[in-house]
Structure 1
Amino acid sequence: MSITIQNENNTITAIIKGRIDTLTSHDIEHTILDLFTGDTQHIILDIKNVDYVSSAGLRVFILAQKKANSASIKLSIKGIQDQVYEVFSISGLIPLFNFE
C-alpha cells in the first residue's frame, strides 16, 4: 500500500495504491485525516489502483467524510473499481459519498 499526496490550488489529491484492509487502514486513516488543514477546499481520494477494501477500509472513508462535513470541505472518491464500488453498495454507503 502506498499514498502519494498532490496539492494544487486548494485541492489535495491522495493517490492510494494497494489494498485497504485491517493491516493498512490505520496508516491510511492518519494520512487522510491529516489532510484536513489550512485552506483546503477539496480533497480527492484517487483509488483507481485500490482493488480491495475491507470493513476496516470502509471505516476510513466514513471517518474522512465525517471530517469533511464538519470542516465544510468537499470530499470526492475518484476512479473506484467495480468490485470496490460493489463493497460500498452492499454496505449501503453509496449515498454518503461523491464519486467522480
Structure 2
Amino acid sequence: MSWPATYGARSCLPIARTTRTCTTCCLPSLEARTRFIEALKEQGVQAVFHYIPLHSSPAGRTFGRTGSEMTVTDDISERLVRMPLWIGVEEHLPTIFAAADKALAG
C-alpha cells in the first residue's frame, strides 16, 4: 500500500513508476494538511499548498460565473499539498517519503 493511502491521504498525480511517488496529495482536513506541512518543514522537506480555485481568484470573482456553491472544490483546495518536485528529485525520494511517513504517523 502506498504511504498516502496508509494515512488517509489520496495520491492525485503519479510522477514515477512506483506506488510511493506523487506530486499532489489530498489530506483528510485543513488541520491535517497544516500539521503535515509543518512536520515536513521540521525535517527539512518543503511541501506547499498554492491551489486557489479559479472561482475564488480575483479574476474568477470578477469575470467568472458559477451555477451553484463550489463546496467540493473549496473543500479539496483546503486539503491539497504539493510535494517537492524538481528535475533530479528521484535521488531524494527516500528522504522525502521517510519524512512524509513520519509526519503522517504523528
Same-fold call, TM > 0.5? no
With normalisation by structure 2, the TM-score equals: 0.30
- Report the structure, 1 or 2, having the larger strand content: 1
Bigger RCO of structures 1 and 2 (CA < 8 A, at least 6 apart): 2
